[in-house]
Amino acid sequence: MDMQQLRYFVTAARCLNFTKAADQLFVTQPALSRQITSIEKELNIQLFIRDGHSLKLTPAAKMLLDEFAEIFDRYEFAVERANAVQHGVTGTLTIGVLDGMRVDDIFPGLLTEFTKNYPEVELVLRYKNLNELIYGLYDGSLDLSFTLRFEVENRKYLSYKVLAGSRDHVAVHRGNPLAQKDFAAFSELENETFILVSANVSETSAALILDRFKKAGFRPNTIYSPSLYTSALFVQAGLGVTMFDSRSIFRSIPGIKFLDTDQVSDPSLVAAWHQSNSNAAFVTFQKTLARAGEAR
């Protein structure tokens, strides 16, 4: 028996009326009768007792109905779930968010709208550093990364959507003489120790900043930190100055002041993804992102 024949038997057995069952199956009554006869011959089991206009199940058919109905219902459920996954209304969407970046003005709204429309999609959030957000897009462990534009704009096979603008700032300790200013040009940082994140955190950040110092005509004394959080702690301890963007959560730390400065890159908040991502849940999520700017 194939699944079509299983459907015919289960429907006829539940209806106990070939005409009614044929209507539900969108076939003619004679065609259904032929299928039932074929099944009985294949199984060598009488399934129905025909007594005038009434139709009854044989004891053997009752046992088969219990077993076949469960198989058929599980088959139908599996097909429905597969279709839901294919059309992005269920499944899993894994999103990476830059640790230390403020997204509370944008991210919750996107998630609320998406989960309202697609409650069966499981959302998995991962907080990661800049490199990990990029690697995750390439190895497929992340469907989407909320990160900084300069990290993705020149990457092959990655697309992105700008969600909110941001700009560079020099972060200094409140006791640093520079904290008396609102703007600090790079030329004013020659005597400062500049804190850079290591290449394990970002492959591009330190290179961009050092290139900007080179254009200013000098290279400052530098130290490297293993995370954005460590950079903020170093600034709080008065060990040097660093660079954060406008959306950094460290802007709210009382002991640190953010100064406007010469721009090094574009640190705008973006949602980035790999162009080959075929996860239907991600394709569906893109509809939610459609109102947030133009894809690049």
pLDDT tens per residue across span 91-109: 889 999 999 999 988 888 8
CB 244 within 8 A of CB 250: yes
CB 289 within 8 A of CB 114: no
Measured between alpha carbons, how far is 228 from 130 in angstroms, rounded to an integer?
Answer: 10
Q: Which two tokens stand for residue 181?
A: 């200013």
Q: What is the tens place of the pLDDT at every residue in 171-230?
A: 999 999 999 999 999 999 999 999 999 999 999 999 999 999 999 999 999 999 999 999
pTM score, whole prediction: 0.70
Please name which of 184, 211, 187, 209 lies closest in space to residue 196, comparing C-alpha atoms: 209
For residue 37, which amino acid is it? T
pLDDT range class, residue 75, cuts 50, 70, 90? confident
| Average pLDDT score over residue span 102-121 | 86
pLDDT of res. 194: 97
SS3 category, 244: strand
Please name which of 23, 2, 241 lies closest in space to residue 12, comparing C-alpha atoms: 23
Cα separations in angstroms, 124 against 100, 103, 161, 170, 222:
18, 16, 20, 33, 37
Strand partners, 28: none
pLDDT of res. 244: 97
Q: Which domains are seen in the chain, by residue range?
A: 3-86 (1.10.10.10), 91-165+268-292 (3.40.190.10), 168-260 (3.40.190.10)
CA 150 from chain centre, in angstroms, equals 20
Phi-psi region of 140 (alpha: psi -120 to 50; beta: other; left: phi over 0): left
pLDDT range class, residue 82, cuts 50, 70, 90? low
pLDDT > 90 fraction of the chain, expressed in percent and rounded: 58
Please name which of 245, 242, 240 lies closest in space to residue 263, comparing C-alpha atoms: 245
Measured between alpha carbons, how far is 145 from 272 in angstroms, rounded to an integer?
Answer: 5
Which of the pair, 137 or 90, is modelled with greater confidence?
A: 137
Q: How many Cα atoms occupy the beta-carbon half-sphere of 126 within 13 Å?
A: 18
Tell me what the pLDDT averaged over the chain comes to.
Answer: 89
pLDDT range class, residue 296, cuts 50, 70, 90? very low
Q: Over the range 77-113, which residues count as b (16 or more CB within 10 Å of their CB) and which as e? A: eeeeeeebbeebbbbebbbbbbbbbbbeebbeebbee
Flag whether pLDDT at 145 surpasses 70: yes
Measured between alpha carbons, how far is 58 from 67 in angstroms, rounded to an integer?
Answer: 15
Measured between alpha carbons, how far is 169 from 258 in angstroms, rounded to an integer?
Answer: 6
pLDDT of res. 207: 94
Q: Which two tokens stand for residue 103?
A: 């997204």
Measured between alpha carbons, how far is 77 from 265 in angstroms, rounded to an integer?
Answer: 51
Measured between alpha carbons, how far is 242 from 223 in angstroms, rounded to an integer?
Answer: 10
Q: What is the tens place of the pLDDT at every residue in 234-247?
A: 999 999 999 999 99
Measured between alpha carbons, how far is 128 from 266 in angstroms, rounded to an integer?
Answer: 20
pLDDT of res. 6: 86
pLDDT of res. 110: 86
Q: What is the tens place of the pLDDT at every residue in 269-280?
A: 999 999 999 888
